[in-house]
Structure 1
Amino acid sequence: MSAEEIQTSNNSRWSLPALLPLMGVVFASFLVIGMAIPVVPLYVSHGLGLGTFMVGLAVSCEFATALFSRIWAGHHADTRGAKRTVIIGLIMGAIAGLLYVASLSLLSMQGLSILVLLLGRGLLGAAESFVITGALSWGLATAGVQNAGKVIAWLGTALWAGFAAGAPAGTALYDDYGFISIALGTIILPLLTLLFVVPLTAKQATNRSSSALKAMTQVLGVVWLPGIGLALTAVGFGAITTFGALLFAHRDWSSAWLVFTSLSVAFILGRILFGHLPDKLGGARVALVSVLVEAFGVLLIWLAPSPTLVFIGAAFTGLGYSLVYPGFGLVAVHLASPENYGLAMGTYTAFLDLSLGLAGPSLGLVAAHTGLGSVFLVSAVVVLCATPIALYLLKTRAAVRATSQEERLDNA
């Protein structure tokens, strides 16, 4: 048996327990982020007395810095090691918590307080980028590139489990102890996770070739369309995470945390139960159905006369959104050349960061001029704009398959 065959055989025996430590790291990191999601809008609105635009900016600046730091994080993981990248991310997360505390100490100076809070939110976005990028690189080095689907799926599940658990935990802490409890949790959890990470042994991932970076323009030229489809659908998710808690506060409803838990749990179940469908039915077809399901969920929230219907709408949104990423992503990979698959997925994911970074402030302006409820109507319309993209990609992929079949028949 050749060395390559032995390596393939070893990687085929890879199992989930090998990934559990990294899943724990990702869960703890995104538990911190999940704790802040329902709380930051309430703190900015009620604690600092600022409007919906600043609420959207405070939420979205995290995603904006995640976008701009993603390439930096990936380069650092490739050249300095995945473990070191995760450690830096955890340290940045703890510093973000310190900035939260500093913001609280400056409440008498509203402008300075929100500025420091925005710095903390931005640093938390960079921390998120470093942790998840480092964890993915670490997981791929451990499991092998041929197990990339498993690595991404399970680390993604840990990520959303952190969101799902963080929302109720953050709401409970904020209700009982105020924003200081979120700030302290943002300091303590990354530091405890850091103590767990330091003793772990990490395999070094293969360095990215310089040709991959030079191929950025080429990759962008082929993945921009599915990337825009992803960006449009992310607006529905962003509307719920940014304005869901404010909607409940505005209508004097309780249990706002259930909105985020419904969204996250439905997302996880969608990945577990239907994650195989893009490979089986085609990415564009699955993306098309997912867009319609997500838009229906956001529309339910807009029409909801009671909290129960909001929870149901959030669940439909999470279920649809869960398969949008792999649906459009599969198309992006197929459009790219094999040597640029990794770069294609990184570029494709950047559209998600960009969308979430812009959605909050934009929807905040919508809320300021037309009311909070209209945010969800506008978001549903934006999500539906991804439908013609999915239809076009479905038609394009069908044409490509038909051409390939004709070429095979001619060659035969």
Structure 2
Amino acid sequence: MMEAKRPNMAYRRVVILTIALFLSYLTVAMSLPAVPIHVVQRLGLDNAYGGLAVGIAFLSTILTRGRAGAWSDRIGGKLTMQRGLLIYAVAGLVCLLTSWPQLPVSASYGILIVGRLLLGLGESVAMVGMMGWAIGLMGQARSGRVISLVGMGMYGAFAAGGPLGLALLDRLGFAGLMAVCTAMPLVGLAAIHWLPAVAPHAGPRESFWRIIGRIARPGAAVGLQGVGFAALGAFFSLYFLSRGWPHAGLGLTFFGVGFVLVRLFCGHLPDQIGGGRVAIVALTVEACGQYLLWLAPGPYAAFAGALLTGLGCSMVFPAMGTEVVKQVPPHLRGTAIGGFAAFQDLAYGATAPAVGVLADHTGYSSVFLVGGLAATLGLLLVASARFDSRPTRATAEPNIDG
């Protein structure tokens, strides 16, 4: 009877962690549309400065994934996640200072950049710590389910955070929005305080780049998957406007519906049938969605392409994540997760400017051809790999403290 209760208790704890992660990601998502508006309209700077203030947070995230993973391995996932949430809160306070009217514009913008760098660090540390902690609570055999929940928390926050951030900016101003962004991670910090920690594993350390070499194939696959999502997110609306099609704002809605539905109903599949098999199907569906967007004769075909892209993108990260967990010993798990996430971060950060140059010369539809080719290359990469198709095996996890 006790054995039957343990997985349910662990799952409930991981759901609480996911809610805390959702609250922290709201601080990223709510500030995303508000920061360039603040820079351009309040500080009176050019759009390039607004774009830099947005993008530098993602650069900070990419550059600190390895450090976040090393923290998780050394001090445990709980303490790492708590540190990340505190950094989130400090980032919100720093960004709030930019609204002080006595500051010159250059000082306000410099403080904002510092806050955005801290925000990227907080995102990196909180997410990697949460994943390491949650897998420790649930066990390696359910790592696919854990990674699926992480994605739902992240993408759910991005879906809700954009319009919420603009509404708060309109009603409370930038300082009020940043105050809310400071409070959100503190609420999450309070929610996870009582959850038991998982003691870190002991074992010999390896360099970050050696671990990257171990996980390069699943990392490359998830990076290639990310090209399609980044292309859709950046250019779907412009694609519709260039064609004169209505309802340009529904692209991400269709993508999000497909993404969440698959995570809800298929999140267990990587653990049951192996991540490689799931990734092959998922990348095939994503590629079809991207090619349909490229060739769409009208808006409804394009919406179908966005839906297929969401259905496909949904499971690649958890499917390849289960393979990453299999390929490293538990004492290197946090570092491996951090490096694995960096592959997707890099794809998200590099895709929009790269395919934007292509769109200027060949039209917006070409960006989806690139997304389709990237997903196809990822499919070939996964199909040629020798991933273990058996269910994820249970391994001894550390004792739970408390």
**TM-score of the aligned structures, taking structure 2 as reference length:** 0.76
SS of residue paired to 1:204: coil
User: Following superposition of structure 1 onto structure 2, how do residues 9-88 of structure 1 map, counting pairs within 5 Å?
Assistant: 11-12=6-7, 14-40=9-35, 50-51=46-47, 57-88=52-83
C-alpha distance in structure 1 between counterparts of 2:68 and 2:366, whole Å? 36
How far apart are the structure 2 equivalents of 1:308 and 1:43? 35
Summarize the alignment of residues 210-359 of structure 1 with structure 2, pairs less than 5 Å apart.
210-211=204-205, 213-214=206-207, 216-242=208-234, 259-278=251-270, 283-298=275-290, 313-330=305-322, 332=324, 336=327, 342=333, 343-359=335-351
Deviation at 1:30? 1.4
> SS at 1:397's partner residue?
coil
Distance 1:203 1:329 in 2: 22
Does 385-394 or 251-260 show the bigger shift?
251-260
Provide the residue aligned with 1:3 in structure 2.
none
Which residue is equivalent to 1:206? 200
Mapped partners of 2:299, 2:230: distance in 1: 19
Shift of 1:225: 2.9
Measured against aligned partners, the alpha-carbon deviations of 1:198-239 in whole angstroms (never above 9, x if no partner) come to 4x243232235233x24x454433432332222122123234
For 1:120, the aligned partner's letter is: G
Given the alignment of the two structures, is residue 133 of structure 1 paired with residue 122 of structure 2, yes or no?
no
> Once structures 1 and 2 are overlaid, which stretch shifts more, 286-295 or 26-35?
286-295
The match for 1:150 is 145
Q: 1:224 to 1:56 in 2, by over 3 A?
A: farther
Q: Distance in 2 between matches of 1:45 and 1:300?
A: 36
Task: Report the alpha carbon displacement of residue 267 of structure 1 after superposing the two structures with TM.
Answer: 1.6
Deviation at 1:28, TM superposition (A): 0.9
CA apart distance, 1:39: 4.1
Listed one character per residue, the Cα deviations across residues 343-391 of structure 1 (whole Å, up to 9, x for unaligned) are 5444322211222233344456556x559x63x6325414522413422
Moved more, 349-358 or 124-133: 349-358
Per-residue deviation, residues 135-161 of structure 1 (Å, max 9, x unmatched): 223323433444433333333323332
Q: Is the 8 A contact 1:226 1:329 kept in 2?
A: yes
Percent of residue pairs bearing the same amino acid type? 34
Of 303-312 and 31-40, the range deviating more from structure 2: 303-312
State how far apart, in whole Å, the 1-side matches of 2:82 and 2:315 are.
30
Q: Distance in 2 between matches of 1:196 and 1:290?
A: 34
Q: Does 1:393 align with 2:382?
A: yes
In structure 2, do the counterparts of structure 1 residues 251 and 196 end up closer, same or farther at CA, with 3 Å as the change threshold?
farther
Distance 1:291 1:239, change over 3 A: same
- Whole-angstrom CA distance in 2 between matches of 1:125 and 1:65: 5
In structure 2, relative to structure 1, the CA distance for the partners of 1:331 and 1:75 (3 Å cut) is closer
Corresponding residue for residue 93 of structure 1: 88
Matches of 1:108 and 1:251, distance apart in 2:
44
Match of 2:186 in 1: 191
Query: How far does residue 247 in structure 1 lie from its aligned partner after superposition?
Result: 7.4
Mark the CA change 1:299 to 1:55 in structure 2 (over 3 Å): closer, same or farther: farther
| Shift in alpha-carbon separation, 1:224–1:75, aligned structure 2, 3 A | closer
TM-superposed deviation, 1:122: 2.2
Question: Do the aligned partners of 1:299 and 1:377 also contact (CA within 8 Å) in 2?
Answer: no
Structure 1 stretch 357-366 or stretch 221-230: which is displaced more?
357-366
Name stretches of at least 5 consecutive residues in structure 2 with no aligned partner.
390-402
User: Which residue number corresponds to residue 121 of structure 1?
Assistant: 116
Residue 25 (structure 1) shift: 0.9
Structure 1: which 5+ residue stretches go unaligned? 1-5, 402-412
Q: Which residue type is aligned with residue 149 of structure 1?
A: G
- TM-score (structure 1 length as normaliser): 0.74
